[in-house]
Structure 1
Amino acid sequence: MTVSNQTNMNFTLKVLSFCAALFIISFNSYSQSQDSTSRPLISFDKIKFLENIDMTFDMRMGMQAYTFRGGDKYYNGVQFKNEHTALGISAKVHEKVDLHFRNRFNKGSDVQTLDQLGSNIELAYINVKATDQLNILLGKMNTFYGGYEYQYSAMNILEYNDIYSRALAYVTGAGIRFQAFENHNFGLQILNSRTMHYDDLYGDIAAYNVEEPDWPVAVVGNWNGRFFDGKLQTNYSASYSNQVKSRGTYFFTVGHKYQSKKFSIMYDFEYSYEQIDTKGIMTDIIQNDNVAEDVRYIENWMRAEYQFNDKFKGLLTLMTSSAYGNFENEKDHTRTSYGVIPTLYFSPFKDIDIRFYIAYIGRYYDYTDYAKETFNVSNYNKNEARIGFIAPFKIL
């Protein structure tokens, strides 16, 4: 060891010794000076309040190896990625009032011009139990869209289909949940249709006849049903939203799920007719400095799960998405995308939910001949292998 290193080590030991001594003296002085005015941050008689608070910390992290092929473009790479990191807090603040909050750290924190919250704040609402059958929700919440792809936490979806990968899932407004019968409940929401004003969202890329509405509003209706002791479930929704004045989006989803002891299968069908393109897929295709108008998106999504044993679970997700424009020659079918995601979960622990996974994600995008000739687009595909873990930690 050099003289310089020896000197540095001696100095470090002296500093640590001094800090330790200072801590002991300070702690002893603090203990001797306790009086009736000193109180802990959370007193013993308040600890019981913590029983009404749930705190979760959700994580999905993995290593991904990917390739992209399209036209004359090709690239690949390998990287670690924090795919999902979120802190959630739920609390019962009154016998009839709950609050819910979730911060997704993977999203931007810029305050949105319409709802005045950052995109990273996904949930910030209260749930008021008006009666045994009726709940009222107020604040920023998840939209009551149907289907089972949407019902999963984003932590559990490695790749969304096209609509839900671009849909605005968390917005501010009011909603009700009504348990009409034991196996059937209904939801209704009135929400902002956007989190930003139109000019902030689209900038100069706007159709010539687009105007900001007095209220960019969305109305969403939802039905959840259970049949045959819960083995068959349904999740349907219908919604209308006006992003601009006098023009809006009609969105319908029907979801079905069959559940047995070890096996489950889900199928969703989605149809979205958009007088102003809110998903941006057709807008990206035509690239004429205007937002696309009168477009349609039709999707299919299927996921099967099988529990091999206590430690291993297999999943297979299949998806398609078709985009349609509005062209004078009526050749409106523009693009179809396909997706396949086989996944294997490994859960080594009984007392905590940590799932290690290995998955392949294949996405293929096929354009029609008309789209290739008119918009100068070409087919492409993305392939990805992932290995990582999913951990919904319950902290409190």
Structure 2
Amino acid sequence: MAAKTEDLTELSNIISTNVKNYLSHVPTPPTLRPTPPVPVTDEVAAEAREQLLLACRRVISLVGGPIETVMGMSAAFHQTTAMKLAYDMKLAHNVPLDGSPIALGELAAKTGASEETIVRVMRALTLQDVFVETAPGYFAHTSGSAVIGIPGIEALIGHWTDESFASAPHISDALRENNFQPPEDSRKLAFNRAFDTNKNFFEYAYTEDKPMGARFSQAMTAAGTARGPYNLVAVYEPLRAAPKGTTLVDIGGGIGHVAIAAAQKFPNLNCVVQDIGMVVSEGRDGLPEELKDRVEFQENDFFKGQPIGGPGVYYYLRHILHDHPDPWVSLSRPISWEKGDSLGGILSHIASVMDSSSRILIDEDIMNEHMGPEGNKMTITLDFQMLVMCNGKERTEAQWAALLKSADERLVIEKVWRAKRNDSGIIEARLA
């Protein structure tokens, strides 16, 4: 493994070998030209990619040296600053998508920004191959900058650079007040300080700032598709053999993008997408006509109960539970949506309507127990995102097992269906 060596020659050989493996198993060589992103799906190519990234990170640490490493991490927020400015100035929308360059003066006129500000932002972005200076004072798209303008990706960048970026500086103060232990109440964290609200992120985004909520919904759809095929249709095999008419309840399923993909692949499924009102309405409006007899939308607050029970039901939660601290997921939590009363957690409500043939499918990232360069960068980043925005977290397999047990003593993990290209997977749970 690349992370186990400090020998630059050995690392160079690892890089060389994996470059050959990678190039021989991808349809086309990677390019910085503004072309549509293509997920790496071939298993050999995906493994080679991971080894390349791992070895390159180790080379950068060794050659850059300790001071540059820690100083770079300390100042990394300025990269986000540059991306936020690019997002706010709509640079990606005003540079030609055909790859031709635009003059600095014309870009300034189109965006209304000063030439000096654009130059300073471009210095930071072109350093990371996001945009390119083709000649002095002329800029063009790269593959990295072109994706900024893709609607879902743009929404995701907006979420990260707006509410997340504004909240992150407050996390240390929020934790310090509780001896650096995250409080159980997800309305007393960094996000609340940044936006001066006593509502958690979801309450705020879907009631106080509906444009924020709409952008977040769009961002979550893009985040899922960017990682390749949904785990529900790619790795969870039992759905193929499920009896005709089997019910899949997509809890917190947003506009139904995963349920629609499942219904299209598995004609034996009937899907119910549950979410809050404004999201459910958007989902109904976008449902393909040919699926209206097998996919329905239902308004439901998963903290207050699960109305669908019966034998053989699959309860699917994709990137839902990581948004919440353990007590909110498992047993009970203080809640102040209406009366401030204590209500049951998400999993305990589901367990109360299950039987022995029902299954809970938790589709989440599964944090590695071990730490080091082999860690998955996106999973670790998401763990901090959860801490900052809603006091949730990414969990290890052992933590998932403990969480299920705390929700209901009968809940056990039947099997973990792991995706092959990242740290995610589906944790299948049943009543013992």
Say whether the fold is shared (TM-score over 0.5). no
Tell me which protein shows more helix as a share of its residues. 2
| Structure exhibiting the larger radius of gyration computed from Cα positions | 1
**TM-score where L is the length of structure 2:** 0.23
**TM-score where L is the length of structure 1:** 0.24
